[in-house]
Structure 1
């Protein structure tokens, strides 16, 4: 057995866990032959480079992205989404939902193989070789980051084990979480100088790593490292290796926030040097002159759905959105209801609808001019509301006088839905609106699909998707954004506030995001409309403002689940009801009654994924996360 291992298996062994020695040995000969040939010429090495990319998770896919329906941001028809079981508290150490332990280490293994062998390729320019090395260092850092964000401290795999390694050396231990983050930051720092500032040939290189991507991920990793889940988390004080090595430093370090702020500003500077800027909808041609209301909504929506727009720092070309858009798009047109064209699934709960600001740019429970206590009272839309709600339609006060992102992101009973073939917002009859009551075109009771809360997801749907008389739904596909500039701006504001408190610089980067969303500045909004007009002047108040700004601006973009965790707010926010409207009713009086869909629970153990029992059995040097 020992001789067999030394003759082939360990040369590739960076996986921490193997289902069995025999299974791994069975695949070694083919892999060795492939590796021997993979670096004999440039074309073969490029295939291996793309293999390193192939382990990237498919962001935005319900079967591969736990941040879609694994928290509380979107709810689903129960039998449709596996990650909904995680949101319901059914995570398990026997086959954990969304387990990435083995796939990410497979990716790290291949990255190490690439880095160890790329120097052998004879027919490559040195500059190109350096670029490829930088890309793979980035991917190696990214895969480590995915693991740390999910599992906390992990074994850091800097290089593959040599052929002479003892079998016991395979059973590595977890490294302290600070070691993990430091290594991720180091790899990204090494990679950045040799990466291009921009992609010069989008048709052949779209999705490949650039310097702005590398430095933006480094900024996000360092902000994550500085956040309460990883910085002075006393709840994790008992997580130690078998030899007693503590895996969390339970003492808070302000230096981490200082370092994160510097990293964010460095990333912003490089992004701006590359021409990356907040997206504003300004088409070269449009058939109708649109109102400012619709233009603002399209700026918000298209910042996500327009392919490679000016704001996208990094988008996943392996995670296109055709299927996602069909899944979440509601039935658009009463003339074409005979075929199941779209499903209208993924339903924002009532708590998400209440999260968005008032039209004055402050939380609805803080706005002294907004009728918070009457938010569930029925109200009929008038002429001033017709670009948001169908004129004459009766709905609840919650849906009136809200910020543009509320109307850009969410659809609801009676709401105007711009696009999908309706483009003239000057004509009332050209503005499509949703009808969400029982057996109405966008309601419950026909095909078994559609919203389960009374809210539809609008944000991730390209407004140019169309439905035609042939019962065909034409989708404008786009790669799923992993990071855009608004995300980076808000990370910088957060890090700077935690590092040195509120300042004009903090306000500047929040206000840039708010301006694009059609809102006033933080200072003017809170001073003039909030019941707490000095909230933005102290660090705790500004922290709340920044966190809510992130949750709103990045809603439905696979960010909320991770933000709530790193802020250690999941145990507060996810111990709550998932609520919606009564979807089985036909009148406003009955429909707008709050219905509880589920009572969520979230415990301290749920902040980190369990390591599967299979991995724990195979590698006895691993320690399990607390509570599992």
Structure 2
């Protein structure tokens, strides 16, 4: 479903009221435009309301800048979506990212609850359509609760529209109770939703999206057998959707290939009504970007394998530090812009990106090389840029209508592989349908990279799968959740993160120090309950050490 427009009166009436400081506006419904009595008069209005609920599920800025909460990227210009202050450990309970996350998710929940409580008022509405729309709303509500429980742990749980007084007294429900509610909701709606929609309704929640979401919930809870059960519904049968890997990894993220066989659920955009220009602060400056606010780390670059399937730290890998981007996993070039990169412009021409200081043949008015990396400038602080998700149709202002993928088939395969390995069930058959298939699509051809090695231990395969998730799913807003569920944040989110090898040789072997991270395992695995929420409702307890 391409969301062509939204209705602002519904954001006022249905969206602004959540468990937040905005709750005191409950009595400010624009009654001349919207009331429960006069709104629910036809199915078109109900659909418009549901469209707004969809629209509130995700946004481009949060989607991209969640990457800087992980070890894949840094945000050093501004504090976009709290990425800089959270990563450096200085954010407190009053930070806007925490309150915004809380507000937006409860806004989604309220929207869903309002639709569920009012859609039966619509006269002469087709019953099948009504039940399907209810199921979509329940998915959106479950999606919101899942994210709340993942970020905050225990959170208030309710499935009706609550009033202002209730919002000031409600308590937090245990994490597991919230997760159980999410799973029960997804179970209840699975058979109601269609396997696919007509072309003019593409993008709505399908049965496959529900199954994939259940698998993701179980994954974050380490319920391995349930992960296998759900993913097998999409791997071993087409009854719930005919999904497969799209032939081109880079092509997955091009507008011409939207709605391809790999996409299970994505967040819909269409220009000019609903679009984003986030890449204006992500792309290289020399191709027209404004500044760089989200940059890949050297740690991410180092995670990409050599074409023989070996890590660059393996003496047998063939890695050459003087030619660090040669013979690497092709997904590196599809994702990261590095020194000497050939950036394709919208007109089909190419621009060489120079990030190593002093190497750009173009000179400025003072005779200095106009290369991308200049300390203290607005260029990338790491010497790298992101290429993945760049929309060739976005033009000079980088305004894009490219959909953002929330769930795709490669993730299903990786969840399945991880669960199988955690249960000691990794076999050549499982490997071939998951890791081998994903690597073949990426462009690997060497037998060493593709063939299953039965001599590897469970722990060694675990590291392979985890690294495969990192390089396959980078910039898809998933890495931070993986780091937390693996409980490795204390290792990978503490200390310096680095950029390219442009610095003094005496410091970290010449790799740029760009940000010092702080992650306290006794505190930071959960976000704090926002301060303003606790000011309104003293029954909301706080997470440990906040």
TM-score normalised according to structure 1 size: 0.74
* Cα separation, partners in 2 of 1:41 and 1:20, compared to 1, 3 Å: closer
Question: Structure 2 CA distance, aligned partners of 1:625 and 1:446?
Answer: 39
Instruction: Pick one of 511, 520, 532 that aligns with 1:614.
Output: 532
Q: Is the Cα contact below 8 Å between 1:196 and 1:210 reproduced in 2?
A: yes
Deviation at 1:104, TM superposition (A): 1.6
Q: Provide the secondary structure at the position in 1 that maps to 2:406.
A: strand
Question: Structure 2 CA distance, aligned partners of 1:321 and 1:505?
Answer: 42
Q: Provide the secondary structure at the position in 2 that maps to 1:565.
A: helix
Instruction: Pick one of 276, 301, 315 that aligns with 2:266.
Output: 315
Pairing of 1:328-347 with structure 2 (within 5 A): 328-331=282-285, 340=288, 343=291, 345-347=293-295
Deviates further, 604-613 or 112-121:
112-121
Match of 2:326 in 1: 400
Question: Structure 1 CA distance, aligned partners of 2:224 and 2:25?
Answer: 43
* Cα separation, partners in 2 of 1:39 and 1:535, compared to 1, 3 Å: farther
* Cα separation, partners in 2 of 1:55 and 1:13, compared to 1, 3 Å: closer
* Cα separation, partners in 2 of 1:29 and 1:555, compared to 1, 3 Å: closer
Q: Is the Cα contact below 8 Å between 1:14 and 1:108 reproduced in 2?
A: no
Pairing of 1:416-455 with structure 2 (within 5 A): 416-418=342-344, 420-422=346-348, 432-438=351-357, 440=360, 441-445=370-374, 448-455=377-384
Match of 2:307 in 1: 359
Match of 1:266 in 2: 233
Deviation at 1:526, TM superposition (A): 8.2
Question: Structure 2 CA distance, aligned partners of 1:346 and 1:19?
Answer: 31
Q: Is the Cα contact below 8 Å between 1:413 and 1:435 reproduced in 2?
A: yes
Question: Structure 1 CA distance, aligned partners of 2:445 and 2:251?
Answer: 21
- Across the aligned residues of Structure 1 and Structure 2, the Cα RMSD in angstroms comes to 3.5
Match of 2:160 in 1: 159
Instruction: Pick one of 433, 436, 444 that aligns with 1:519.
Output: 444
Pairing of 1:533-548 with structure 2 (within 5 A): 536=456, 538-548=457-467
* Cα separation, partners in 2 of 1:535 and 1:144, compared to 1, 3 Å: farther
Instruction: Pick one of 212, 215, 218 that aligns with 1:219.
Output: 215
Question: Structure 2 CA distance, aligned partners of 1:453 and 1:304?
Answer: 24
* Per-residue deviation, residues 105-138 of structure 1 (Å, max 9, x unmatched): 2321221121122222122111111111111111
Match of 2:472 in 1: 553
Question: Structure 1 CA distance, aligned partners of 2:55 and 2:334?
Answer: 33
* Cα separation, partners in 2 of 1:271 and 1:92, compared to 1, 3 Å: farther
Question: Structure 2 CA distance, aligned partners of 1:554 and 1:84?
Answer: 21
Deviation at 1:171, TM superposition (A): 2.0
Q: Provide the secondary structure at the position in 1 that maps to 2:249.
A: helix
Question: Structure 1 CA distance, aligned partners of 2:96 and 2:279?
Answer: 27
Q: Is the Cα contact below 8 Å between 1:347 and 1:452 reproduced in 2?
A: yes
Pairing of 1:111-190 with structure 2 (within 5 A): 111-161=112-162, 167=165, 171-190=169-188
The count of residues paired between Structure 1 and Structure 2 equals 515
Question: Structure 2 CA distance, aligned partners of 1:486 and 1:584?
Answer: 37
Deviation at 1:355, TM superposition (A): 0.7
Question: Structure 1 CA distance, aligned partners of 2:194 and 2:439?
Answer: 30
Pairing of 1:377-416 with structure 2 (within 5 A): 396-416=322-342
Q: Provide the secondary structure at the position in 2 that maps to 1:477.
A: coil
Pairing of 1:564-583 with structure 2 (within 5 A): 564-581=483-500
* Per-residue deviation, residues 358-411 of structure 1 (Å, max 9, x unmatched): 11123222362424xxx54xxxxxxxxxxxxxxxxxxx2422221211222222
Larger Rg: 1
Q: Is the Cα contact below 8 Å between 2:284 and 2:372 reproduced in 1?
A: no
Match of 1:492 in 2: 416
Deviation at 1:342, TM superposition (A): 5.3
Deviates further, 118-127 or 75-84:
75-84
* Cα separation, partners in 2 of 1:442 and 1:273, compared to 1, 3 Å: farther
Match of 1:427 in 2: none
Question: Structure 1 CA distance, aligned partners of 2:64 and 2:325?
Answer: 30
Question: Structure 2 CA distance, aligned partners of 1:485 and 1:13?
Answer: 32
Deviation at 1:13, TM superposition (A): 12
Question: Structure 2 CA distance, aligned partners of 1:213 and 1:611?
Answer: 29
Q: Provide the secondary structure at the position in 2 that maps to 1:491.
A: helix
Question: Structure 1 CA distance, aligned partners of 2:217 and 2:29?
Answer: 34
* Per-residue deviation, residues 589-626 of structure 1 (Å, max 9, x unmatched): 99x93221122111121111100122123222222111
Q: Is the Cα contact below 8 Å between 1:328 and 1:456 reproduced in 2?
A: yes
* Per-residue deviation, residues 38-73 of structure 1 (Å, max 9, x unmatched): 222222222222232232120x315x7551322332
* Cα separation, partners in 2 of 1:526 and 1:13, compared to 1, 3 Å: closer
Question: Structure 1 CA distance, aligned partners of 2:373 and 2:419?
Answer: 44
Instruction: Pick one of 242, 250, 257 that aligns with 1:301.
Output: 250
Match of 1:325 in 2: 279
* Cα separation, partners in 2 of 1:460 and 1:442, compared to 1, 3 Å: farther
Question: Structure 1 CA distance, aligned partners of 2:122 and 2:394?
Answer: 49
Question: Structure 1 CA distance, aligned partners of 2:128 and 2:451?
Answer: 54
**Unpaired segments of 5 or more residues in structure 2?**
1-13, 361-369
Pairing of 1:362-373 with structure 2 (within 5 A): 362-366=310-314, 368-371=316-319
Question: Structure 1 CA distance, aligned partners of 2:86 and 2:514?
Answer: 15
Q: Is the Cα contact below 8 Å between 1:14 and 1:105 reproduced in 2?
A: no
Deviation at 1:92, TM superposition (A): 0.9
Question: Structure 2 CA distance, aligned partners of 1:120 and 1:358?
Answer: 60
Q: Is the Cα contact below 8 Å between 2:297 and 2:384 reproduced in 1?
A: yes
Question: Structure 2 CA distance, aligned partners of 1:303 and 1:65?
Answer: 16
Asked whether 1:477 is paired with 2:401, we answer yes
* Per-residue deviation, residues 177-202 of structure 1 (Å, max 9, x unmatched): 22211211111122221212112123
